[in-house]
Structure 1
């Protein structure tokens, strides 16, 4: 027999977005019920951001040891103990887990129910043991690895990000299907840890990103020894596992010890009985307006479930908007959020706003593009790593449309542009910033300053200076 209660807010899903909504609402004094059928912390903590970056850290350490001779430091042969690497990965998860734990949220006053939830009607959510009638409901169920319909795949053991971190033995030959950020990050990491790696992509690897920036990353993967196969469509999977792909020269068989499927993610909405709540969905997620509210005025969606981008930091931003809208009734607009993205490869690739190609499609030739290479950055030279560049895209009048950075720690340096675009800062305000020397972050000030160079040193300005020198 299930118990029936009333609540101010029900949250379905204990990932980044759901936890942020639940914590905010509970600390504001509302009665909150949080349903989670899996692990607290969701995909990011358990299968995504945290374990992958812990793995990348180990891979980077191994690579830096091998490459230390370029700086005159000579190390003994590098030995990777994969079981200890995975122990580090699990320790990272365990260290962060208490922040997302059931105990912590119950301490905040949230009623946590570790069961699958579903809608009974437009304002009632139920699990096996509890039925809740709520004033507001937030769907924060995240996403899961998409599995393509490829003949033979269902009959062959394969990995996704949800099972990859259960490995205790390093794959001898890892075949990765999918050349997006996940495939590239993990492919490079496993290669640096000692696996042979092949990445297969039906289109262009890192196809969403600026081609030159993507090339900087892919050149490094090639140098690392990763085999990159772009423009190859997977046609079937044979036992082994062996991935069979089709290219210009016909079929090719790619054998491996393990197969990782990394072709993207799809929203986790099955089993919620959304139709009973009058909530519409599409292939991307719950259909919402700019306030993240569904067709049912009581029901909101955040994060991957909202179909507006699959980033943990975006889910957190969505949570803030929902708290403002659903609790305080304030106007919000999820469509104006400036969302940075980072591929945590080496070099890192970070971007925000429009790429050059997207800007030209939207604005025509009425744009300006500034490029500053790290080859001219003193910190990069001192570190012996001048790979990459910064690219700034603006309107002809200087409105920032987008920025791409590729290089060491690009994800940290894109944050200045996230602030500038979110706050509507002018380029002159960026140039007015004093950047510490020597830092890679100086590339941002140089990008902004370079925009003014043609006007600053124009013939007209020179004439003005010629007149002023007689008055000084």
Structure 2
């Protein structure tokens, strides 16, 4: 029997893979199947962002005189209906997992003692174990952080009304996505970032993101020292580059990253921050014990977790597969999808153009806000990086990442025919780069 701790993207995909191969699989999930992605991360952001974009688009049309008004958001109804859809998705995942042949044990937290999984008082004998216990929001240790009115993505469903003034703690992708959402909903949003906001993002994408978040007050170099007051009447004590400061708000959202859930895992090597250490085969230092997903640390991406789960399962099945982290696409979802992928090759040169007009960008032409496309190209035509700020940036980055991994060059786009109209400017840049390199080579 194979025992899997955690039914998020990593553990569930591993379970489906193993059960489909004829293995007896027991998957233990203390909450709901689908993990953080379905219940607290990707799907809630999608749900909230869909509504935010609807409101934003209505605002654009109103400013042009096309429609008369912008709809108001019924926030409690939004959360209620979102949960119904999440429950539907969970039921689909449950059926898919059981149909593959895996047994699911809900509502109980298993633990690993270095030798076997323990479920309550029962020790489960297993041929192999997969640890995929996921992650949780990283919460700063400061006075008042547990005050009513302070939320994380895991407790956002408890927010009973839309905040008038919302402080978001964090300076990364998670903070940016929630800032866009709540700004569109009508909240006055202040982002408190300890360092440079979106510091790890490509600079062109970063500038675009800051433009999209022009309705929010972004404060860089700001530390949260304490939270005082009561629900809907909070005062934040801050340390800034200029000294001490304070901020009044009626809600706080902590979006400062994730930390692994590994306290229930003993007898295996972990880093000081709790990340379970694995090799390229997703093996821990205990024989026949594997780990995958967020519990192993960054990049905290659902597709990466899924692939890690599949790699762990395949190695249990004797296939000897390594996890490949090259050319992993990512996306930041604001009004557009700000998607990117890079292999950090030295010597590549950038090409950047505004995004073309098309579905989702046509009405932004008057404001010159049609997004952007960017590629980094080597002298041999190799593509080392792509960025896309567009309605379909995520799809563009996904397929371009695949082509980059398989060493396609800009010259391979010579016969590329696109769907039109499209908001993808990347293919055009590739064709243009190919022409430039060919002209240089002919001199």
> Which residue number in structure 2 is paired with residue 350 of structure 1?
339
Change (3 A) 1:185 1:424: same
**Separation of aligned partners in 1, 2:135 and 2:129:** 18
Cα offsets for 1:5-34 (capped at 9, x unmatched): xx1x11110111111111111111101111
The answer to whether residue 286 in structure 2 is matched with residue 296 in structure 1 is yes
Whether the 8 Å CA contact 1:156–1:238 is kept in 2: the answer is no
Alpha-carbon offset, residue 216 of structure 1: 0.8
Q: Aligned ranges for residues 390-405 of structure 1 at < 5 Å?
A: 390-405=373-388
> Which residue number in structure 2 is paired with residue 382 of structure 1?
362
Change (3 A) 1:378 1:308: closer
Q: Aligned ranges for residues 426-445 of structure 1 at < 5 Å?
A: 426-441=409-424, 443-445=425-427
Alpha-carbon offset, residue 185 of structure 1: 0.9
Alpha-carbon offset, residue 107 of structure 1: 4.1
SS in 2 for 1:450: helix
The answer to whether residue 307 in structure 2 is matched with residue 325 in structure 1 is no
> Which residue number in structure 2 is paired with residue 411 of structure 1?
394
Change (3 A) 1:155 1:80: closer
The answer to whether residue 171 in structure 2 is matched with residue 183 in structure 1 is no
TM-score of the pair, normalised by structure 1: 0.86
Alpha-carbon offset, residue 316 of structure 1: 1.1
The answer to whether residue 62 in structure 2 is matched with residue 80 in structure 1 is no
**Separation of aligned partners in 1, 2:80 and 2:30:** 25
**Separation of aligned partners in 2, 1:42 and 1:417:** 28
SS in 1 for 2:126: strand
> Which residue number in structure 1 is paired with residue 431 of structure 2?
449
Alpha-carbon offset, residue 428 of structure 1: 1.9
**Separation of aligned partners in 1, 2:69 and 2:63:** 14
Root mean square deviation, CA, Å: 2.2
Change (3 A) 1:231 1:447: same
Alpha-carbon offset, residue 76 of structure 1: 2.8
Alpha-carbon offset, residue 165 of structure 1: 2.3
Whether the 8 Å CA contact 1:233–1:246 is kept in 2: the answer is yes
**Separation of aligned partners in 1, 2:237 and 2:58:** 36
**Count of residues paired in the alignment:** 436
Which structure has the larger Rg over C-alpha atoms?
1
Q: Aligned ranges for residues 75-114 of structure 1 at < 5 Å?
A: 75-101=68-94, 104-114=96-106
SS in 1 for 2:60: helix
**Separation of aligned partners in 1, 2:322 and 2:437:** 36
Q: 1:340 aligns with which of 329, 343, 350?
A: 329
Whether the 8 Å CA contact 2:262–2:274 is kept in 1: the answer is no
> Which residue number in structure 1 is paired with residue 193 of structure 2?
201
**Separation of aligned partners in 1, 2:199 and 2:71:** 33
SS in 2 for 1:429: helix
**Separation of aligned partners in 2, 1:372 and 1:455:** 18
SS in 2 for 1:446: helix
SS in 1 for 2:380: coil
Q: Aligned ranges for residues 201-240 of structure 1 at < 5 Å?
A: 201-222=193-214, 225-239=215-229, 240=233
Cα offsets for 1:147-168 (capped at 9, x unmatched): 1122332456510000012323
**Separation of aligned partners in 2, 1:77 and 1:315:** 39
Alpha-carbon offset, residue 377 of structure 1: 4.9
TM-score of the pair, normalised by structure 2: 0.92
Alpha-carbon offset, residue 100 of structure 1: 2.4
Cα offsets for 1:312-346 (capped at 9, x unmatched): 1111111221222221x223222444311111112
Alpha-carbon offset, residue 207 of structure 1: 1.4
Change (3 A) 1:35 1:70: same
**Separation of aligned partners in 2, 1:58 and 1:418:** 29
Cα offsets for 1:203-233 (capped at 9, x unmatched): 11111101221111111211xx211111212
Alpha-carbon offset, residue 136 of structure 1: 1.3
> Which residue number in structure 2 is paired with residue 469 of structure 1?
none
SS in 2 for 1:420: helix
Identify, as 1 or 2, the structure richer in helix.
1
Whether the 8 Å CA contact 2:55–2:70 is kept in 1: the answer is no
